[in-house]
Structure 1
């Protein structure tokens, strides 16, 4: 039998007022009991303190212990102690993504079809506005489908309150701000900004559409490559190879940026430029973190010539 004392890391959680207490695992040894088993035992005693809300660490350490690690792996013996911290209410990553991407899918049709409500007049949409509307709707429909059927997440949940912060980027910037700007009279079929200019030239629009479609399909391809690296229900990590990955660690971000560059170039909208700058900065942070993680985990096996996100530059 293995017994482990569970104490609070700092202030005792309100959802687990009975700490400290001891969990026991009859007929098991320390190399058989996982951190996930301990979390389950805590959740059994305190039902509101579910496993994804818990952060377990060694006494005197703030480092989170991996759920699939055994007590032996982390150096805890029979009669040892672990500390638990309440991460607060959690929400699944999949749900967060669904909420984020749903915003523009609702907001853009409202601005596109109810022009009198927002601009005080009916607007004859230009070909450019129709293209941009299609690009944005297809982009976020694609993201929703990828979330449902392609993406596999390393972590099951995130803090509930983060959904509001994360969603603001899409709902306010690529949603309200961008929709209000690009469906306005400035971009209408009768506007001097459009009429008789390159933005009214079908060849310009078709060229942009071709590059945008290339970027979106390439982005999808890289997501499928990443999915194939991780079997269902695992956290397996492997070095990705193939289309895009020969040049950068995160080609999915590069192709996403390229798709939005098309929208910026076609419209010349300063709102689109701001969204692109904010999004590219955030993706750059994520890409650098993943690039460093790849190099740390795989060492000399990881291709040295790969850049982080932008081929040959970064």
Structure 2
């Protein structure tokens, strides 16, 4: 064989992979993408189901057209472990499904299920479940309707960004994860948020727009925060998308633009700003709960991104003390 040829010993990690070859023959200048294609072709499965690592140190070998076998630490006679990640689903499809939850549930509760799930009666009976005039609850207030519109606008924006703006470094994710990920959006920002912000008893904290001048100031400031947060969030997503070539979205670069000098993830900062605006409009505990859970999750994502950026661009990336909100976390 050629002097620069590399023979890799291939071993499955975890459950056995049918037809996985015991050896892979490449050249040191071959890309890791070629390695993945050889392994997936021989095993007869999608290239995205496989995760390849170096057996010597456990380092991940990416599926990349820009990384050579040699650069990935694969040497002649070395051993690579191959793990079957199971059935996969496209990341773009995942986000579309996740964000569809609130877009379906909020109008469903406000306009269809409302008289059935909020029976206005002092005692329970079968007749109380029917939307008759005697049992029909009072209609949602103007602020409750406004809150729903803001939530819908937020998730419509997310859907459009998913379809036309975002570029994903990973093509797929395990199918099972879609149920776990969708729980946050279909459950918390969908069912819980819609049910408690639309409820007749929520009118105590969410009156009509005309309730008082103080109420109006609070509401209009919330609207201002929402619009500002959504526009700045969209601008950040455009900046992040521009860093990745469309023909090679796995390629990374140092994020730049408005907010990146303040925190690691300004898109998360502006997301928080928009949801604070929604909370100022509906003043409901369910919105606060969703925001709190989202902040915790985004904090862990942001810390992970900060570590990755420091590792990948040690001389170019400017380290950040705060990942989401300047002065806090």
TM over 0.5: yes
* TM-score normalised by structure 1 residue count: 0.88
Q: Is 1:228 aligned to residue 225 of structure 2? A: no
- Between the two proteins, the alignment pairs up a number of residues equal to 304
- After superposition, the Cα gap between the structure-2 partners of 1:160 and 1:237, relative to the gap in structure 1 and judged at 3 Å, is same
CA distance in 1, matches of 2:234, 2:143: 24
Alpha-carbon distance in structure 2 between the residues aligned to 1:306 and 1:78: 42
> In structure 2, what is the Cα distance between the partners aligned to 1:313 and 1:300?
26
User: What's the TM-score once normalised by structure 2's chain length?
Assistant: 0.84
Q: What SS does the aligned partner of 2:313 have?
A: helix
Distance in 1 (alpha carbons) for counterparts of 2:318 and 2:39 = 43
**Whole-Å Cα distance in 2 between the matches of residues 200 and 126 of structure 1?**
17
Q: How many Å apart are 1:279 and its aligned residue?
A: 0.4
Aligned mate of 1:139, from 148, 154, 169 = 154
Matching of residues 1-314 of structure 1 within 5 Å: 2=5, 3-13=7-17, 16=18, 18-24=19-25, 29-31=27-29, 33-47=30-44, 49-68=45-64, 69-78=67-76, 80-114=78-112, 115-120=114-119, 121-188=136-203, 194=207, 197-198=211-212, 201-232=215-246, 233-304=248-319, 307-314=322-329
Cα shift at 1:23: 3.6
- What RMSD in Å do the two structures reach over aligned CA positions? 2.3
Where does the alignment leave 5 or more consecutive residues of structure 2 unmatched?
Answer: 120-135
Shift of 1:89: 1.2
Superimposed CA distance per residue, residues 258-284 of structure 1 (whole angstroms, 9 cap, x where no aligned partner): 111122233221111111110000011
Corresponding position of 2:132? none
- Distance in 1 separating the partners of 2:206 and 2:43: 63
Give, in whole Å, the separation in 2 of the partners of 1:30 and 1:216.
47
Q: Residues 303, 20 of structure 1: CA spacing in aligned structure 2 closer, same or farther, 3 A cutoff?
A: closer
Is the 2:236–2:258 Cα contact (8 Å) retained in structure 1? Answer: yes
In the TM superposition, structure 1's runs of 4+ consecutive aligned residues that sit over 6 Å from their partners are none
Cα distance in structure 2, aligned partners of 1:309 and 1:192: 29
